[in-house]
Amino acid sequence: MNLTDYFVQKKIQGGDIREYERLFKKHYGPLCQSAFKILRDMDMAEDIVQEFFYQFWKNRESFTIRVSLNAYLFQSVRNNSLHYLEHLEVRRQYAAMLMDETGSRQQLIEQEGPEIKEINQLVESTLKGLPERCSTIFRMNRFEGKKYREIAEILSISVKTVEADMGKALQVFRETLREFHQPSS
């Protein structure tokens, strides 16, 4: 790192907002163009660069640049852009998986007898009647096979909340499906 970069880093770490604004104005356009080459979406490129600069200022006291400031900025925006693309791919794969599961489940329902179809319709209508989070938790557990801990992590809630919502859902299902339960004699 050259001496100029060192002084810029020290000024920004010390809270010099003018130095930070100079850095932002100088690099914002080129960083957006760099991100655009990866993302092919100028709005998202600008969001990535703005988020980077926000984090850069927010964490200014703790960052250390060992290479040139210019290289640090461009490498950080490049990494953030690639991370965003990875995130989009995971979401796309998850959506495709859900579509496949929904399609496969619907095909199974269509192939089953009238009583099974009626039960499945009751299940779907019961799920639609539950609060959204409760329904989501039930689907994740019973249809996707996720454990309570996994669900809690995905939804950023406690395991106790997952347990409570599953308890509510199961209680509603017990009441709704009671007419189909025939005790053995």
pLDDT band of 80, cuts 50, 70, 90: very high
Per-residue 3-state assignment (H helix, E strand, C coil) for 35-50: HHHHHCCHHHHHHHHH
Q: What is the pLDDT of residue 52?
A: 94
Is the per-residue pLDDT at 139 higher than 80? Answer: yes
Domains and CATH numbers, the chain: 3-87 (1.10.1740.10), 113-180 (1.10.10.10)
Q: Is 152 helix (H, G, I), strand (E, B) or coil?
A: helix
Question: Is 30 a residue whose pLDDT tops 70?
Answer: yes
pLDDT score recorded for residue 185: 46
Amino acid (one-letter) located at 126: T
Contact status, residue 129 vs residue 168, Cβ threshold 8 Å: no
Q: At what angle do helices 17-39 and 42-58 cross, to 10 degrees?
A: 150
pLDDT at 108 over 60: no
Evaluate whether 181 touches 170 at the Cβ level (below 8 Å). no
CA distance 62 to 74: 19
pLDDT, residue 105, reads: 54
**Proportion of the chain in helix, strand, coil states, percent, rounded to 5:** 80, 0, 20
What mean pLDDT value characterizes the chain?
83
pLDDT at position 53 over 80? yes
Percentage of the residues of the chain whose pLDDT score is greater than 70: 80
d(CA 133, CA 123): 16
Q: What is the pLDDT of residue 181?
A: 53
Q: What is the mean pLDDT of residues 78-102?
A: 75
| Mean pLDDT confidence for 54-64 | 89
